[in-house]
Amino acid sequence: MVLYVALSLCVLLSAGCLGVTPGVPCGVPVTSSGHKRIVGGHVAMNNAWPWMIYIQSGVDGSNVGSAAVIHPSVLLTSAQVLQTTSGPVKDFRDWKLYDSSYDNSVHANNRGVQLYHIDHVIIHPQYNDTNLLNDLALIVTTEEISFSNATRPVCLPDATHRYATGDVCYLAGWDDQSGSGNAGRLQQVDLPILQDSVCMKHWTDVLPETEICAGYEAGHKDFCTGDIGSPLVCQDKSNSVWYIQGVASSGGDCKTADEPGLFEDILVYRNWIQSTMAAAGYTYQY
């Protein structure tokens, strides 16, 4: 009888028991971003982007990119973050994951920052490391992520959250203007969604249906190579909830920052994300 009640509560609380964190909604920071205007950006307010995760390489301790929390055990990032020039990373034992309060310039400031590790990764099966098509991956953490003011999940979009040309979204990351990956505290920048035709002037004759374009043709505001994998998030003005619209894939020209960036379109990949999580034993619960 006790088991039956427990299972019933599990169904009521979410689609599955694994990773249930009652009372913590997705896409709702405890601190406003301030919507200020990475390159051309500003230092983010504490806890404004709590789904951000700093990824530190186990080889030299460098910043290789960012990820977004979408589940207590699952992060969403770019596949290229988990690759080297010789191919996919095989051993993640020395890699480290830090929460959004991490300061990558002064380690003494990181007292209380939550540290996590990589159990395994799932690269999109159609990822192409030449043209970066299907540039997505899931990271399954060794430890379950403890949700707090500094760490909360972002929402995956559904069909009602397709943002239009001109809508202003935001990207956060730890890279600086030089591309050194050493900006210190988390940075943020505003990036408007652009028409495909604008992006194609800078990148290619054909923009894949799996990608979206955001940023500027001028103005020195862009993301850098160390921001690859960072989520492009857009806010639903009706309820102030943030949804991940894209994952940073191509762009990051820190020297000029005068071209828009390409992002994997998460609405296109939502089914893959959810089905892959489910196959690994993790139910997306929002």
What pLDDT was estimated at residue 220?
Answer: 62
Check for a shared fold between 2-27+53-153+269-279 and 168-266.
Answer: yes
Phi, psi of 271 (to 5 degrees): -60, -40
pLDDT in tens, 53-99: 999 988 778 889 999 999 999 999 999 999 887 888 989 999 999 99
Comparing 118 with 256, the larger pLDDT belongs to: 118
Phi, psi at 276, each rounded to 5°: -70, -40
What pLDDT does residue 42 have? 77
Model confidence at 39, pLDDT cuts 50, 70, 90, reads low
Containing H/E element for 244?
Answer: strand 241-250
The string of pLDDT tens digits covering residues 100-159 is 999 877 765 667 789 999 999 999 999 999 889 999 999 999 999 999 999 999 999 998
Which run of H or of E encompasses 9?
Answer: helix 2-13
Supply 58's token pair: 């186990």
- Kindly state the tokens that stand for 198: 């604008």
Top mean pLDDT of 175-184, 199-208, 224-233 is at 224-233
Alpha helices (H) along the chain: 2-13, 196-200, 266-279
Confidence tier at 40 by pLDDT (50, 70, 90) = low
Task: Give the architecture-level CATH label for domain 168-266.
Answer: Beta Barrel (2.40)
Both tokens of 131, joined, read 């043209």
What pTM value is reported for the model?
A: 0.87
Say if residues 50 and 100 touch (Cβ distance below 8 Å).
yes
SS3 209: coil
Q: What is the pLDDT of residue 19?
A: 46
The rounded distance, in Å, linking the Cα atoms of 54 and 102 is: 7
Q: Which fold has domain 2-27+53-153+269-279?
A: Thrombin, subunit H (2.40.10)
For the chain, give every domain's residue range: 2-27+53-153+269-279, 168-266
